[in-house]
Structure 1
């Protein structure tokens, strides 16, 4: 992938991945997907995150096929992530990954993740095979705990390039980030706004007011300032644009510390800790 932006992170595959991507969870239907992708490309997004369970891979593929030429871009200018659905993990993993490729109408997917830590070993072997074939340029996991990560690192032939998990000031994931750093795995955030609840947190609002930014921009900046890629999602073109304005301001050390002090290990999304 080529990109005019220097705001990226180097994966252990040697590929640069943008720090900012458009999350497409709950973007349903061709019109919503097209509108969001169009607005994102205008705003400078060059990464897009989907999943089999989002049921929008085909709509994303069609939108990109139409919009990339419109914006003077090629397939190589964007970074596409998708994920293996839990129902396809195990012996159906190969079939599930190939279905994602077909739905997206792509020759390759830049990054493909196991979405949930159930039935892990057989799924990972299938992803390794497709990676070796060049159909999945990088492979990784989502919603893994430190124990899941250590288990995978001991058994894999190809190490994961990335772990995508819930991450925000109320869930700083200190141990998980340490494990990723130890193994050279990129740590990526989803649900940076805590399902929208964190934008009304008094500390977040005060920091935003002081630096004349939106609470959402502050929450996203808190992550990228730590080198953590983010995936804000919205179908509103104005919000898509606002969420991209992360790289023209810096939070002070004091503000970063105040936000990090909100950590109470609170999860708004899935809790994989009980998956053995």
Structure 2
């Protein structure tokens, strides 16, 4: 992790590129007004990374908002890191078409990081072996676009340790990143260990446990002691372990608050207390049943 003390802290991907450790999640930011307000506030607060997906149906809105607000903040396309994801409806033979559609929707020239969003395929049973061959076919398409420079880095989301090992055995280009649910109640020890083994960056989503963790008594006590919001504590807990985070919000004040992660440190005791909450609790979809 870079030593910068500002929101520009970053992690080094296996492609040799630095990725900001703080990004704005854009799930549910669908209207042009909400997207513009969020992107403007995020750029002002120091965010330089934005995370979208085909299934969010907001890639075009994100692209337009960035074109509108980057010049206002004295920034160019090269100053921001854009992530998007292939929908499970395009898994397999439609992967190339799906990825090109994302590129076209964003209309930013290239995508910094493109992920397979889900290990399964829309319309297939989770136990259908076709899921595995579809994943492999999707990865080949992403590798091709990566080779052309249209996708600067490629990776996966919601993959289990088994899915990761399968991919590592067959891929020509290793994934740069795995994005998954991560918070004190889901420490993902095995998955992070697999990522470390393969040199893959692990990135967190749902850091607040869909909002439920901000009222957890332990989190509230730690926040009170260090005079921070519970959201800041939960995000700092991840960042302090070198794990990038993607807090999502459409509220400019909250977007600004969520960026204030780099001017305080949690004590070892507080870190341990939060990590001790680990109980394997998932607030999001569980991919472990997908073969």
The TM-score range, normalised by the shorter chain, is over 0.9
Residue 196 (structure 1) aligned with residue 198 (structure 2): no
| Residues 147-162 of structure 1 aligned to structure 2 (within 5 Å) | 147-162=162-177
What corresponds to 2:98 in structure 1? Answer: 96
What corresponds to 1:16 in structure 2? Answer: 18
Q: Distance in 2 between matches of 1:20 and 1:47?
A: 7
What corresponds to 2:119 in structure 1? Answer: 117
* 1:168 pairs with one of 164, 183, 203: 183
Secondary structure, counterpart of 1:188 in structure 2 = strand
Q: Distance in 2 between matches of 1:199 and 1:134?
A: 40
Q: State the 1:78 CA deviation.
A: 0.1
* 1:41 pairs with one of 21, 35, 43: 43
Pick closer, same or farther for the CA change 1:240–1:98 going to 2, 3 Å.
same
Q: State the 1:188 CA deviation.
A: 0.1
Q: TM-score, normalised by structure 2?
A: 0.93
* 1:241 pairs with one of 253, 256, 264: 256
Runs of at least 5 residues in structure 2 that lack an aligned partner in the other structure: 121-133
* 1:137 pairs with one of 119, 136, 152: 152
* 2:56 pairs with one of 44, 54, 57: 54
Q: Distance in 2 between matches of 1:55 and 1:262?
A: 34
Runs of at least 5 residues in structure 1 that lack an aligned partner in the other structure: none
Aligned residues: 274
| Contact 2:38–2:251 under 8 Å retained in 1 | yes
Deviations 1:60-117 (A, max 9, x none): 0000011001111000000000000010110000000000000001211000000001
Q: Distance in 2 between matches of 1:90 and 1:112?
A: 15
Deviations 1:153-186 (A, max 9, x none): 0000000000000000000000000000000000
Q: State the 1:5 CA deviation.
A: 5.4
Deviations 1:225-258 (A, max 9, x none): 0000000000000000000000000000000000
Please give the root-mean-square deviation of Cα atoms over the aligned residues, in Å.
Answer: 1.0
What corresponds to 1:81 in structure 2? Answer: 83
Q: Distance in 1 between matches of 2:226 and 2:281?
A: 26
What corresponds to 1:208 in structure 2? Answer: 223
Q: State the 1:28 CA deviation.
A: 1.2
| Contact 2:178–2:201 under 8 Å retained in 1 | yes
Secondary structure, counterpart of 1:60 in structure 2 = helix
Q: Distance in 2 between matches of 1:64 and 1:19?
A: 19
Q: Distance in 1 between matches of 2:140 and 2:30?
A: 31
- Structure 1: 4+ residue segments shifted above 2 A: 3-6
